Amino acid sequence: MINSSEELEVGQEAPDFTLTDATGATRTLSELRGTPAIVYFYPAAFTPGCTTEACDFRDNLGAFQSAGYVVLGISPDPASRLAEFADAEQLSFPLLSDEDAATAKAWGAWGQKTVNGRTFDGVIRSTIVVDAEGVVSAVEYNVDPNGHVARLREALAVGSGGSE
């Protein structure tokens, strides 16, 4: 098994990445300089927790955008699977494919987990907020998808807005 990756900490520069999104376009963190970003890692498209979380971000996207944030979802799914997920759930924010989990590992979102009694290495549901200069301003690992977005909005003092 691969050892858990080292978690990021507030005040640390977020590692850059180059990933393909659901449309086939290449995305990097560095292209977002000047804009704060909410980067969340999830294990797999179409699973119950991941769908709950993605739809919660979708339903609150207007509020995050009104506060100046962009939202990016990252999983080890191939881009074609992410396109299906985005279409099925009407997700209008970028979903990025991290098939080799290199970005998840660099961001501390990879490690040992147990699901249904089976222990394995995989993506640990995580949310990292990066400020406009590329520095980590908030981080949460082992996220519970139920109510996570509401807790994040409260922590970031993001009011209502958009498609609520």
Is 50 annotated in the active site? yes
Query: Could you tell me the CATH number of the domain that includes residue 104?
Result: 3.40.30.10
Residue tagged active-site, from 8, 19, 50, 63: 50
CB 95 within 8 A of CB 21: yes
Whether the pTM exceeds 0.85: the reply is yes
Q: Is residue 12 part of a domain?
A: no
**Packing angle between helix 79-89 and helix 48-66, nearest 10 degrees?**
70
Q: Is residue 145 part of a domain?
A: yes
Tens of each residue's pLDDT in the chain, 164 residues:
344 679 999 999 999 999 999 999 999 999 999 999 999 999 999 999 999 999 999 999 999 999 999 999 999 999 999 999 999 999 999 999 999 999 999 999 999 988 789 899 999 999 999 999 999 999 999 999 999 999 999 999 998 654 43
Number of domains in the chain: 1
